[in-house]
Structure 1
Amino acid sequence: MSRDGSTAECIQLDRSLLMSEGSTTHPEGTTAMYMLEQDLARSRMGEMQAEAAAASRARRLYLARRAARRAERAVRRAARASAAVY
């Protein structure tokens, strides 16, 4: 019986069980949280790399089209110059 007259069970903890899981400085859920954060960081990094790759492809496509337009203008200019000579 406890001091107030109620019956309470006494729970005894075995300290060796508490210590056997590894470091006592980190609660049990910390590892799971760390892994979750790492997965989230990897996922976000993958998204950012995909965005960067898409932007890079868009920029290269823009530059290629611009170069093609300049080349077409140069061909037309050369054709006019050639026609003017003959």
Structure 2
Amino acid sequence: MPITDRSREMYLLHEALARAHMEERQREAELHRRAAHVRAARKMKRRAEVASLRARRALALAVMQ
């Protein structure tokens, strides 16, 4: 069966559409990874702030005694 110009155009169109979908999925995955990284960084920052506050309180108590 010979490949006509129209069937070739349809093939290329479907191929381009599949590529666009794949690229969109990759962009979404990258956004999710970045969001997870930001969430983890915020969580670590908060834990560090809490630890710092506890250390300051402990130091203040030690100095007062």
TM-score when normalising by structure 2: 0.89
Q: 1:74 is matched by which residue type in structure 2?
A: A
How many pairs align?
Answer: 62
Return 25-34 or 64-73, whichever deviates more: 25-34
The equivalent residue for 2:12 is 35
Q: Which has the higher helix share?
A: 2
Q: Does the alignment pair 1:72 with 2:49?
A: yes
Q: Which has the larger radius of gyration?
A: 1
Q: 2:39 is matched by which residue type in structure 1?
A: Y
Unmatched 5+ stretches in structure 1: 1-24
Q: Which 4+ runs in 1 deviate beyond 2 A?
A: none
% identity of equivalent residues:
40
**One of 13, 22, 25 as aligned partner of 1:45:** 22
Q: CA RMSD in A?
A: 0.9
Distance between the aligned counterparts of 1:39 and 1:61, measured in 2? 33
Unmatched 5+ stretches in structure 2: none
